[in-house]
Amino acid sequence: MNPKFQQSGFTLVELLVVIAIIGILTAIGIPMYTGYQTSAKVSATKANYDTMKTFIAAELTKCSAGLAPSLNDPKAGTTVTCPGDLATLSTPATYFVAYANKTNKNPYNTSDATPTVSGAASASAANAGRLYINPADGNCSQGLSVQTVVQDTSNSAATTYIVYPTAAECINAQ
C-alpha cells in the first residue's frame, strides 16, 4: 500500500468502547455527586446552626452578666438594651434574626432573602436550611430556642426533611 494514501484514526469498535466507558462512569458518578451535594448542604446548615447558637449564647451571656450596656451590632439594625429587653425576649429574638439574615446563607436556596426566621421550626422542603429562633417556646420560657431544618440522609428511599436538633436548644437569657 502506498504510504501517501494511508489513513489513520479510530476504528468504530474503539469509539464504541470509549462511549460505553463514559456511559458507565456517568451512571455511577451522577448519583454519587448528588449524595455529596446533599451531605454538603446538611453540613453547611448544621454549621450555620452551631455558629448562630454559639453567637446567641455569647451575646445573651454578655448582656445578662452586665458586661455590655446594650447589644447593637450594625448588622442587626436594632439595639437590645441590657438587661431590660431580656425580660420579654421578643426584642432579642428580632435582633438575632436580623443579624443572622445579614450573615447567613441558606445552603438549600441561596436566593432565600430570609434564611433565619422567628418562630417554631417546621420540617418541609420549603424550610430546608432555614434557622429558627423562637422566643415563645414552652420548653424554654427563660430564653430563646434555636433549631434548623435539614434533609434526612438516613432515608435513601425518599427525600424527607427533619428538624435539627429534634428537641430545640434552649439558650437562657437570664
Query: Which cell numbers in the block locate residue 71?
Result: 447589644
pLDDT of residue 163: 96
Is the pLDDT score of 1 beyond 60?
Answer: no
Given a contact cutoff of 8 angstroms between Cβ atoms, the answer to whether 170 and 140 are in contact is yes
58, 144, 172 from 139: Cα distances, Å = 21, 10, 11
The residues facing 111 across adjacent strands are none
Q: What percentage of the chain reaches a pLDDT higher than 90?
A: 66
pLDDT band per the 50, 70, 90 thresholds, residue 29: confident
Per mean pLDDT, which of 1-15, 46-60, 75-89 is the most reliable? Answer: 46-60
Rounded Cα distance between 138 and 140, Å, is: 5
Taking CA atoms, 164 is separated from 25, 36, 48, 69, 146, in Å, by 35, 19, 12, 33, 9
CB 165 within 8 A of CB 50: no
For residue 161, what is its C-alpha cell?
Answer: 426533611
Residue 127 has pLDDT above 60, yes or no: yes
Average pLDDT over residues 143-170: 89
Among 114, 161, 116, 160, which Cα is nearest to 134's?
A: 116
Going by pLDDT thresholds of 50, 70 and 90, the confidence category of residue 52 is very high
pLDDT higher for 5 or 87?
A: 87
Separation of alpha carbons 113 and 42, rounded Å: 19
Dihedral sign for Cα atoms in the order 127, 128, 133, 137: positive
pLDDT tens across 16-28, in order? 999 999 999 999 9
| CA 60 from centre of chain | 22
pLDDT at residue number 3: 62
pTM of the model: 0.82
Sequence-ordered alpha helix ranges (H) in the chain: 12-64, 90-103
